[in-house]
Structure formats: structure tokens, C-alpha cells
Amino acid sequence: MELNVQKRSVLGRSVKALRKQGLVPAELYGKGVENFHLSVPAKEFKKVYKLAGENTVVNVMLDGKKYPVLINDVSFDPLSGNVKSADLYQIRMDEKLKVGVPLEFVGIAPAVKGENGILVKALQEVMVEALPMDIPRDFKVDLSKLAAIGQSFYVKDLSIPSGVKVLVAPETVVATVTAQVTEEEELAMREAAGVGTDTIKVETEEKKAERDAVKAATSETAAVPAKEASKTKEAPKK
């Protein structure tokens, strides 16, 4: 997978102009290598990033040379969703890396669909150590194996390719299905956590007082004669 880039001299706040031209400002860096300020066509970057994520090796093509990198960090505009910037970490293909591999949850847990259970995802990624070319894009978590309330999917249940060392304990829970909690059970759990019935009662009374205050205020407003209300709305401008 390749990503064509160009060197850029535009830095700082001036990179806004690059974004308007459909370019993403990027940085190429790595241990013991030269750093480069780059610009990447936004459409091409999005396409490559969608396929590679942050674990797959991407060959950055710069001035006829090839630089193997991992897309290390991507910043997005919170409003438009467009890519604002990206970091490209240059790697050595003969050195192992420690990275987090994301989990992809697939299928439907029968315990959720048939027994009205609640699916709890305990992990979103798993740390591994491997050579760059051996790092998987993701790990699939087959939720169809969770057939009953209380069953869990563990790290040891993941399909790990050869050459990949998992740095998380095998018995670590990835996902589990729990039962719906009743009001009585929730009360018991709160009591066990040190939140007694007196505290709960006070909270309930406070909420009731708030509702009564709002109700009273609403009633008073409704009782204002239409004429007076009109005067209030038509206050003289200053």
C-alpha cells in the first residue's frame, strides 16, 4: 500500500491554506531518521487510512524514495470530520514493534437477543509485539459464542496469527453478557458500595422538591393576566 506525498515549506497557522486546497499537512519522523514536513492529497490519505488503519505498513513515496511507515496519529475537525493533520512514523522492517491492535466485534450474542442480556465490552484493543509485516489489521471477536448470561469472551479466544506475541494475560475478559439489573438489585449494589438508603431517600426528596418548585413557578406564570404579560414583553428599549 502506497501513499504519495510532497515536501512542504508552509508551517504553523499557514497550513489552513493547504487544507483549503484539499491537502493534509503531515509529519514524517522516526527513531534515528530525518524528519520531513509533508502535504498529502486528502482524498488519497482517507482512502489509504481507511484500509490501513494504524497497524498496517504503508509505503510513503517521497522524491522517488520509499519510506515504510505506520500512520501514528490522525487529527480530525470535530465539525466537518475532515482530516486536519497526520503523523507518519517511519519504521524498520526488521525490528519488532509494540502496538495496540483494535478489536472488531462481529455477530450477535444469543444471550443478548434471546435472554435480554446486556453486552459489556471490556476491551477495545489488545497490545501485541511483532514485526511490522506481521501486525494484524484487527482481531475479530465472535459474539455468537456468547450463548448464555454470564458467558465471556477472553483474550485466549482470539485467533492470533503466527509471529504475533500478545502482551495481555490470556484470561483477560474481552466481552461478557450480564443480566438486566432490577431496581432492588441496583439498590443492593449501592448499599454494598456504601451508598445507603438514607442517601437514596435524600436524593429522591431533593428531586421531588425540584419538581414541585418548577410546577409552582409554572403555575404562577400561567396565572399572570394577559394584559400584564403583554406589558412585560413590551418593555421599553434602552
The domain spans of the chain are 2-90, 97-178, 192-229
The whole-number pLDDT of residue 12 equals 83
CATH topology of domain 97-178: RNA Polymerase Alpha Subunit; Chain A, domain 2 (2.170.120)
The whole-number pLDDT of residue 232 equals 38
DSSP class of residue 5 equals: -
Bridge partners, residue 86, by sequence: 26, 74
H-state helical runs in 114-196: 183-192
The whole-number pLDDT of residue 214 equals 52
The whole-number pLDDT of residue 79 equals 87
Beta carbons within 8 Å of 9's beta carbon, 6+ residues apart: 37
- 63's grid cell: 522524491
pTM for the full predicted model: 0.67
94: phi then psi, degrees, rounded to nearest 5 = -100, 10
CATH topology of domain 2-90: Ribosomal Protein L25; Chain P (2.40.240)
Bridge partners, residue 153, by sequence: 175
Residues lower than pLDDT 70 in the chain? 182, 185-186, 189, 194-238
CA–CA distance, 97 with 10 (Å, rounded to integer): 32
The whole-number pLDDT of residue 85 equals 93
